[in-house]
């Protein structure tokens, strides 16, 4: 599928996740099979006021492209200014967050709050489209509440303002992540707008991705929480979309990816911050494995790359033997990355 002039192949997208989607994780998911990766959400207001920490979220590398950078904000001029910064930093797509239900984002009048103020949402989209030469997309929820399922009308207005694609998470803002995502809403939006619709919500397995495409007719599937600890989900989902059985992913591959992720995170963020970011992230890689409870305790105490890597390798060493897992794929090879 295409978003403006950007080809997304396969039509599988790593969704934006705060605190997770720095360069190492995006690169790992891209190498594992994602057709497009998204940044963490970036505050346009913080960029406007010169936050060096926020500006650091715009860092990227050539190997992860195509890259979408997601902005949030409530002022059309400030969001448009932030979009110019995003484009200058090398992003292929600017995404507008109009669906985040997190309280601090809502207090700023951004995220899902924009679904209660559609005129402001459309003004932000129009200003952003005018400001940049790359495609602009928007990510929505189905409404503020079930009684306010405004996504179809807002999406139509956003398309009229120049938005090139809409990503729809099949829950309301009030639901957060509770309950099941309503995929029928995604199917309704596909029929209602002329631009590609990206489906999002409750895609945790490769068959889920195939089923979402079939049941909704969406142009692409966005995977977020399902990729935590298992970037190879993109490879498996690509198999399903191509009509193949999903390849098996041995546990040792996941742990090899975790070791890669720890090393790359330390190189990208510095050892102190990189290890602390990876304490929680590494626990996702250990989910469901024998010895994971002991590993989580060790991970929380790890203060260096060596300590966290050793804990992961110990977990791998104690796995039941599986001859198919002896060779990890190139996606976990440090030599083929900018972190070598």
Dihedral sign of CA atoms 291, 327, 300, 18 in order: negative
Which among 111, 103, 101 has a CA at the least distance from the CA of 42?
111
State the catalytic residue, choosing from 29, 38, 61, 100.
100
DSSP H or E segment with residue 166:
strand 165-169
In eight-state DSSP terms, residue 107 is: H
DSSP H or E segment with residue 106:
helix 103-107
Phi (first) and psi of residue 175, to 5 degrees: -70, -25
**Burial classification of residue 63, based on how many CB atoms lie within 10 Å of its CB (0-12 exposed, 13-18 middle, 19 or more buried):** middle
Instruction: Note whether 109 and 117 are within 8 A (CB).
Output: yes
Hey, what long-range contacts does 272-280 have (CB within 8 A, 24 or more apart)? 274/305, 275/302, 275/303, 275/304, 275/305, 275/307, 275/308, 277/19, 277/22, 278/308, 279/308
* Catalytic-residue membership of 100: yes
Instruction: Note whether 214 and 236 are within 8 A (CB).
Output: no
Q: How many angstroms separate the CA atoms of 230 and 164, rounded?
A: 29
Dihedral (Cα; 245, 246, 251, 255), 10-degree rounding = 150
**Which residues are part of the catalytic machinery?**
100
């Amino acid at each position: 599928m295409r978003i403006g002039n950007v080809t997304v192949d396969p039509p599988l997208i790593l969704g934006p996740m705060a605190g997770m989607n720095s360069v190492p994780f995006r690169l790992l998911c891209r190498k594992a099979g994602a057709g497009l990766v998204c940044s963490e959400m970036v505050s346009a207001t913080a960029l406007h006021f010169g936050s060096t920490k926020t500006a650091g979220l715009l860092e990227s590398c050539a190997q992860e492209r195509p890259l979408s950078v997601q902005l949030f904000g409530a002022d059309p001029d400030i969001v448009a200014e932030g979009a110019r910064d995003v484009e200058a930093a090398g992003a292929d797509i600017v995404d507008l967050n109009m669906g985040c239900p997190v309280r601090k984002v809502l207090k700023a009048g951004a995220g899902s709050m924009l679904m209660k103020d559609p005129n402001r949402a459309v003004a932000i989209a129009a200003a952003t489209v005018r400001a940049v030469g790359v495609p602009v997309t928007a990510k929505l929820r189905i409404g503020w509440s079930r009684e306010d399922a405004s996504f179809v009308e807002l999406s139509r207005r956003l398309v009229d303002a120049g938005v090139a694609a809409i990503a729809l998470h099949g829950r309301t803002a009030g639901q957060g992540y509770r309950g099941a995502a309503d995929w029928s809403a995604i199917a309704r939006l596909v029929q209602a707008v002329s631009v590609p619709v990206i489906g999002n919500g409750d895609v945790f397995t490769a068959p889920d991705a195939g089923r979402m495409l079939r049941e909704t007719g969406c142009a692409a599937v966005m995977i977020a929480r399902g990729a935590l600890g298992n970037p190879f989900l993109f490879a498996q989902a690509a198999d399903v979309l191509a009509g193949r059985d999903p390849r098996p992913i041995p546990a040792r591959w996941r742990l090899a990816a975790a070791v890669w992720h720890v090393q790359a995170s330390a190189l990208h963020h510095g050892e102190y911050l990189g290890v602390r970011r990876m304490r929680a992230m590494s626990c996702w890689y250990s989910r469901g494995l024998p010895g994971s409870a002991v590993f989580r305790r060790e991970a929380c105490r790890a203060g260096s790359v060596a300590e966290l890597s050793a804990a992961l390798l110990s977990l791998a060493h104690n796995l039941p033997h599986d001859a198919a897992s002896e060779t990890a794929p190139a996606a976990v090879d440090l030599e083929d990355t900018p972190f070598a």
